[in-house]
Amino acid sequence: MIKSPLRIAIYAFAVLCAVVFLYPLLFSFQNSLKDNTEIYGDAVFSFPSDWLWSNYKQAVVDGNMLWAIFNSFFYAAAGTLLALLLALMASFVLSRLNFKFREVIYLYFITGLMIPVFSLMIPISRLIGTVNGFNNYFVLIILYAVIELPFAIFLISGFMRGISKEIDESAVIDGCKPRTLLFRILLPLTMPAISTAGILAFFSIYNDLIWNVLLITDKNMYNISMALFSFVGQYGAVQMGPTFASIMITIIPTVVVYLLFQEKVENGLSAGAVKE
């Protein structure tokens, strides 16, 4: 390989960018093990002289961070499963069956992609208020699932349309019921779209902020965003170590999941960005 100056310059740029993207995270990790004196001190780049794991203990005990992570996982897992089930049923009807107004109903669902959910926070919290749905796992999970619906339907029905219709015909001739056709035959074939939609829904629910802010006041139901907010609000700049520790705790599970499922996460999230 020829080591031209240009090549070296590009490589230097690549390394520089990696530092810009990763160093703030490393820095936060270092700070999460320091006390205030060291954080405000001059040794910016060094690891602490004494690794204060007690900062993490404080975040876990006082901030209830592990429970918040569990909550976030629970919301995300349940919400994603429900969203996928509903989207799968709708997609089956909208892409495999022939009936009146099919196209209109499809468009009706896809319109949801153009509606920014943040603009709906007033009516939705009012709606939840009228059914006394504040601090309710069940209500929150349904809300999360439905918010993910339009895109999941868009992805899954688009993929299902590409599967040969002959499969349905031969299945029906063999006496297959719609339910069996969908869950036994089409579901495995649609797996690529389902997993993309699932990853996207999972991340978006896991990281949710606004619905937890608006609909949850019970500390035991806080997700990571709310737990972080309340913990940081309490300690903030006064005790930087625990603050950074709580931030790191919420970051680590996501990093692990990402490193385990790299390709899938990358493809899922970039497909999600191209929503409209």
Partner 1 sequence: MFGRRVYPTVILFLLPVFVLYTLIFIVPVIQTAYMSFFSWNGIKSVPLEFVGWSNYADMFSKPEFYRSLKNVGVFILASFVLILPIGFTLALIITSKMRGRRFFKVAYFMPAILPLTSVGLMWQFLLKGDGGFVNKILELMGLGVLQQDWLGQPAIAIYVVVVVNAWIYVGLNMIIFASGIVSISDEIYEAASLDGAVGWRKILYITVPLMRETFKIFSVLAVTQSLRVFGQIFVMTGGGPNGATDVPTTMLYNESFKYNNFGMGNSIGTFIIVTGFILTVLLNKLMSSKESR
**Closer residue to partner 1 (CB): 119 or 218:** 119
* Residue (of 39, 62, 75) closest to 233 by Cα position: 62
Round to whole Å and give the CA distance between 161 and 180.
Answer: 18
**Closer residue to partner 1 (CB): 58 or 168:** 168
Only one residue has tokens 């006064």, namely 238
State both tokens at 224: 């990571």
**Closer residue to partner 1 (CB): 56 or 244:** 244
**Closer residue to partner 1 (CB): 54 or 239:** 239
**Closer residue to partner 1 (CB): 121 or 163:** 121
In this structure, are residues 147 and 117 in contact, taking their beta carbons and an 8 Å threshold? yes
Kindly state the smallest distance separating residue 49's Cβ from partner 1, in Å: 18
Kindly state the smallest distance separating residue 174's Cβ from partner 1, in Å: 14
Kindly state the smallest distance separating residue 102's Cβ from partner 1, in Å: 9
Which three-class secondary structure string do you get for the chain?
A: CCCCHHHHHHHHHHHHHHHHHHHHHHHHHHHCCCCHHHHHCCCCCCCCCCCCCHHHHHHHHHCCHHHHHHHHHHHHHHHHHHHHHHHHHHHHHHHHCCCCCHHHHHHHHHHHHHCCHHHHHHHHHHHHHHCCCCCCHHHHHHHHHHHHHHHHHHHHHHHHHCCCCHHHHHHHHCCCCHHHHHHHHHHHHCHHHHHHHHHHHHHHHHCCCHHHHHHCCCHHHCCHHHHHHHHHHHHCCCCHHHHHHHHHHHHHHHHHHHHHCHHHHHHHHHHHHCCC
**Closer residue to partner 1 (CB): 80 or 96:** 96
Kindly state the smallest distance separating residue 123's Cβ from partner 1, in Å: 4
**Closer residue to partner 1 (CB): 52 or 94:** 94
Kindly state the smallest distance separating residue 70's Cβ from partner 1, in Å: 15
Kindly state the smallest distance separating residue 231's Cβ from partner 1, in Å: 10
Kindly state the smallest distance separating residue 50's Cβ from partner 1, in Å: 19
